[in-house]
Amino acid sequence: MGDLFDGYGSTLAPRKTPQGLPAFDEMFGDAPSGAMGTAEARDAYEELYQALAQMTQEELRGRTESLASSYLAQGVTFDFAGEERPFPLDAVPRIIEYDEWSHIEAGVKQRVRALEAFLDDAYGRQNCVRDDVVPAQLIASSQYFYRQAAGIHSANGVRIQVSGIDLIRDENGVMRVLEDNVRVPSGVSYVISNRRVMAQTLPELFVSMQVRPVGDYPNKLLAALKASAPAGIEDPTVVVLTPGVYNSAYFEHTLLARLMGVELVEGRDLLCVGGKVFMRTTRGPVRVDVIYRRVDDDFLDPLQFRADSMLGAPGLMLAARLGNVTIANAVGNGVADDKLLYTYTPDLIRYYLSEEPLLPIVDTWRLEDPTALEEVLDRLDELVVKPVDGSGGKGLVVGPDASRAELDALRATLKADPRGWIAQPVVMLSTIPTLVEDGMRPRHADLRPFAVNDGDDIWVLPGGLTRVALPEGQLVVNSSQGGGSKDTWVVGGIAPAHVEYGQGQGVGGLVADQASAPGPESEDEEDAVAPPPNEVAHSPQDKPVPGRRQEEQQQQASLVERAKRDETPSPLRFVSSLPSSLNDRDGGAGC
């Protein structure tokens, strides 16, 4: 049956665990190395395998190149070593059967509930410290614990509106939690974009395999954001706050704003007056109730954090503390992302929920323990060592792949700052067939399910983002390290009521069902004008890029000079820019 899988699994030096176990392959079970094309596919992959086995490498490669061209034209890119590249999408999806997905979904929900309880406690009474579940020093010494966030609560008590929980499948086939992302998790735009193009590429399989759609995400996110709005507001105004066009995730910011039907703003578009937040528009200031921020904590409010930040707005934290605006996700969530806290999460689940963890974590050494540090230093060439505040695979050292000089430098670093690092055994991430230059080959992958919390329920996006390491043997899957992605299909089970498989209007109807949930209708639908196909949504005050760069440089220089004179701007200086006649929703009653 074709030659697509010929030689699959053949390699001169396949990675194995110290116990000699190879990676778990998602598509194939045990088979002789070499001609994997004769192996039996797992039940979940059987139909996909039969379809792919009819193709040649040239056919599949042509489809893959078309996907890359489509992404480049749409601006679906990421930043790699300072260069914007189309986000690599492999044409072979990852498949998860519904029964297994139900367990993953329950485990993700459980984890989010426990982290919500911990964050509320960490910025409140700290009962977990009093009861010796978590050391006080862990919280106080975390880089992302902000005392400025203590006492700030959204109306519905949710701090983690959106989360991304990174999972891996180990060599025994067990799905484990690798890390948590509850600050500003990114990547969901690739899930939606991947699904849109894959539904066009393999439409018959979507119908026959009953792939669960992902198009509900924008509506679920918008509902969760509105649910967190200050009390007493019937129709909250939601905005997406972006650092701007130079941010590597700007495509995601524009896509989510467009699909939710809300404004995309930058810090300079927001105005804080009298403890309230307004958005500058051509029709005058408009009150903002919920800010879905894609800006890091340190840059949100120059009055509370970095004084040189041009990405936020002075006064945001005051407005949040007064209960006049909700910042989602909440400021200070990063303490729950700390990889040292990760080692305590099984205990946190038992403490807050009185439940056993549904998803195990990876065995981890806490290097602030002298005994653990001594063991890790002796076995440094066997382990993976990570900075507790790292992200995107940065700073991670895989011992078996490191040089002697790198290990010596790492050893000195660990001795100097044991609190800043953790160590784990090398876990053989599961492999999935991926089309590379040599043909179809196994490549290591992880999975990031996204969860949305509206206060009443936690909804987990079916599937999530599968990231795949493209170099042979590479275990770091992050796009910033040269990784790619796969569409993730949850198959089987009862389809959601609004999806009628095979009943849509051709491929276009299927794509709409799978990945194109529309945002709210415009009040002036007849007057709405669609942007040109090659343009993306920008914030209300965007200017041509050269002018933007000059303006930003001038603003930054001005801010530096002001800082030298110790003339930090006061939010009261903005009052004169608002007409006194505006009412409370549109202007400044109570300013």
Measured between alpha carbons, how far is 318 from 63 in angstroms, rounded to an integer?
52
Q: Backbone phi, then psi, for 453, in 5-degree steps?
A: -115, 115
Task: Give the DSSP H/E element, type plus range, for residue 512.
Answer: helix 506-515
Query: Per-residue pLDDT tens for 235-285?
Result: 999 999 999 998 888 989 999 999 999 999 999 999 999 999 999 999 999
Domain annotation for the chain: domains and CATH numbers:
1-226+333-362+429-513 (no CATH), 231-324+546-591 (3.40.50.11290), 365-426 (3.30.1490.270)
Q: Which residue has the higher pLDDT, 372 or 567?
A: 372
Tens of pLDDT, residue by residue over 172-193, are: 999 999 999 999 999 999 999 9
- pTM assigned to the model: 0.84
Q: Which residues of 444-458 are buried (b: 16+ CB within 10 A; e: fewer)?
A: bbbbbbbbbbbeeeb
Tell whether the model's pLDDT for residue 10 goes beyond 50: yes
In the sheet that holds 263-265, the strands lie side by side as 263-265, 238-241, 290-293, 326-328
Q: What are phi and psi of 249, to 5 degrees?
A: -105, 20
- Tell me how far apart the alpha carbons of residues 577 and 579 are, in angstroms, rounded to a whole number: 7
Place of tokens 């020093």: 137
Cα 459 from Cα 436, distance rounded (Å):
35
123 band by pLDDT with thresholds 50, 70 and 90: very high
| Strand pairing category for 263-265 and 326-328 | unpaired
Q: What mean pLDDT do residues 309-338 have?
A: 96
Cα–Cα distance between 312 and 293 in angstroms, integer? 9
Distance CA 1, CA 43 (A): 18
Amino acid at 111: R
The b-or-e profile of 378-415 (16+ CB within 10 A means b, else e) is eebeebbbbbbbbbebebbbbbeebeeeebeebeebbe
Mean pLDDT of 441-447: 93
Per-residue pLDDT tens over the stretch 59-112? 888 877 777 777 767 767 666 656 666 677 888 999 999 999 999 999 999 999
